[in-house]
Amino acid sequence: MAICDYANQYVCDLVAYQTGKPIEETARELGIDAETIVKVASNENPLGPSPKAVEAMQEALKESHIYPDGGGYKLRTAIAEQQEVDIENVILGNGSNEIIELLCHSFLNPKAELIAAEHAFVVYKLMATLFGAKYVEVPDPGFIHDLEGMANAITEDTRLLFIANPNNPTGTLVKQAEIDAFMAKVPDHVVVVFDEAYFEFLHEPLDTIKFVKEGKNVVILRTCSKIHGLAALRIGYGIASKNVAAILQKARQPFNANAIAQAGALAALADEEHRLNTRDINDQGLAFYEAELPKLKIPYVKSYANFVMCDVGDGDFVFQEMLKRGVIVRAMRGYKLPGWVRISIGTPEQNVRVLEVLTEVLALRDSA
Ligand SMILES: Cc1ncc(COP(=O)(O)O)c(C=O)c1O
């Protein structure tokens, strides 16, 4: 008997999420020093963690024998103050990915539908599959979410609708006016999730928290994994209308956000200097790629986040060949874009190295 004859059918249907290739694994496979490898595959912060967060976490380590505050009082209070909402509007997650899962636990079943854009963050599809729900994919011309199309796709059975803004892996943004027009059309039985993992990289104002304040069925997801540089800690948060937040609180494990991560996040969210330095270096990196990719005749999608997705013709080939040269990018086959790769913005030195290696690999591709 095969395991899937008796395991949960929805789990058997899953294609496991492919993470960016780890540096240590690459170093082992290539037999080279991990220090020489550049990983630009997971949209991490090239400046590292907020130093203030590191200090706070070192202090918190001394209390590692005590269970965390399961209610996350200090961190949720700080987030509530920062966002001008009440603590009851805030939920913590083991990464914002966990809150995506909690949303699916809370709102999906095999009769329900989840709507997302065609090239949206892939975890939404994985989670819809895991809960046996119908995944409704709305085309996104030019890789930009079509909010009108998404509103038109809503049915009686729709429970969740995800807008990743900026979106991963495309880096595209939907603007405030479109969001406002869209929200006016959404019925109450649909929870709209604004996944804003890359929000802090934006320069344009974007206000989705106002929908929470208006009591609409919305959740805004943010993470400490990106601009705050705490990806290893697994800490993210959601700002939701109180009725939605209360359901999510029921669905979570008692100590889902660990104490070290809570302490780090608290310090990181207050570290304006690190946030602005990271955004500056990211702006420089985006400008670098916008100037250099056209010289290599590589089409790219204008990005509002900390990565750029570009059409290199054969994404798997470019990924493999760059890997051999110690640079880890992300191939986009999993997003039905086999010609593309996604490159995270690094430090200026890393960006130069990535471009050099990319240039070398493209020459190899053209001579093959
Ligand atoms: C759009 C988007 N949402 C959510 C996440 C999950 O982030 P985390 O679980 O690290 O908070 C990511 C990570 O890459 C992302 O790109």
Q: Tell me the DSSP string of 255-296.
A: T-S-HHHHHHHHHHHT-HHHHHHHHHHHHHHHHHHHHHHHHT
Q: Is 164 in the pocket of ligand 1 (CB under 6 A)?
A: yes
Q: How far apart are the first and last CA of the chain?
A: 46
pLDDT of residue 19: 87
Q: Which atom of ligand 1 is nearest to the CA of 166?
A: 1
CA–centroid distance, 342 to ligand 1, in Å, is 15
Lowest mean pLDDT among 11-25, 53-67, 207-221: 11-25
Task: Pinpoint the residues of the chain covered by CATH 3.40.640.10.
Answer: 51-271
Lowest mean pLDDT among 9-23, 187-201, 332-346: 9-23
pLDDT of residue 183: 98
Instruction: Decide: 88 and 112 in contact? Cβ < 8 Å.
Output: no
Q: Is 158 in the pocket of ligand 1 (CB under 6 A)?
A: no
Task: Pinpoint the residues of the chain covered by CATH 3.90.1150.10.
Answer: 3-48+273-367
pLDDT of residue 244: 97
Q: Is 197 in the pocket of ligand 1 (CB under 6 A)?
A: yes
CA–centroid distance, 143 to ligand 1, in Å, is 18
**Position with higher pLDDT, 366 vs 353:** 353
CA–centroid distance, 197 to ligand 1, in Å, is 6
Please state, for a pLDDT cut of 70, what percent of the chain lies above it.
100
Give Cα 358 to chain centroid, integer Å: 25
Q: Is 236 in the pocket of ligand 1 (CB under 6 A)?
A: yes
Q: Is 43 in the pocket of ligand 1 (CB under 6 A)?
A: yes
Lowest mean pLDDT among 9-23, 44-58, 174-188, 296-310: 9-23
CA–centroid distance, 96 to ligand 1, in Å, is 6
The protein residue with its alpha carbon nearest to ligand 1, atom 2, reads: 197
Q: Is 72 in the pocket of ligand 1 (CB under 6 A)?
A: no
Q: Both tokens of residue 182?
A: 């869209």
pLDDT of residue 293: 98
Band (pLDDT 50/70/90 cuts) for residue 317 is: very high
Q: Which residues contact 144 (CB under 8 A, 6 or more apart)?
A: 170, 172, 173, 174
Q: Following CA atoms 282, 288, 292, 297 in sequence, which dihedral angle do they give, to the nearest 10 degrees?
A: 30
pLDDT of residue 52: 97
Q: Is 223 in the pocket of ligand 1 (CB under 6 A)?
A: yes
45-58 average pLDDT score: 97
**Position with higher pLDDT, 18 vs 179:** 179
Question: 189-203 b/e with 16+ CB inside 10 Å = b?
Answer: ebbbbbbbbbbbbee
Band (pLDDT 50/70/90 cuts) for residue 366 is: confident
CA–centroid distance, 6 to ligand 1, in Å, is 32
Instruction: State whether CATH 3.40.640.10 applies to domain 51-271.
Output: yes
Coil, helix or strand at residue 97: helix
pLDDT of residue 368: 73
- The tens digit of pLDDT for each residue in 25-43 reads 999 998 888 999 999 999 9
Q: Is 282 in the pocket of ligand 1 (CB under 6 A)?
A: no
- The tens digit of pLDDT for each residue in 92-127 reads 999 999 999 999 999 999 999 999 999 999 999 999
Mean pLDDT, the chain, integer: 96
What DSSP assignment string belongs to 316-332? HHHHHHHHHTTEE-EE-
How much of the chain is in helix, strand and coil states, percent to nearest 5?
45, 15, 40
Instruction: Decide: 79 and 240 in contact? Cβ < 8 Å.
Output: no
73: closest CA among 263, 272, 230? 263
CA–centroid distance, 201 to ligand 1, in Å, is 14
The protein residue with its alpha carbon nearest to ligand 1, atom 6, reads: 97
pLDDT of residue 15: 83
Domain covering 3-48+273-367: architecture: Alpha-Beta Complex (3.90)
Band (pLDDT 50/70/90 cuts) for residue 280 is: very high
Indicate if the pLDDT at residue 256 is higher than 90: yes
272-285 average pLDDT score: 98
pLDDT of residue 32: 87
Coil, helix or strand at residue 358: helix
- Longest alpha-carbon distance in the chain: 60
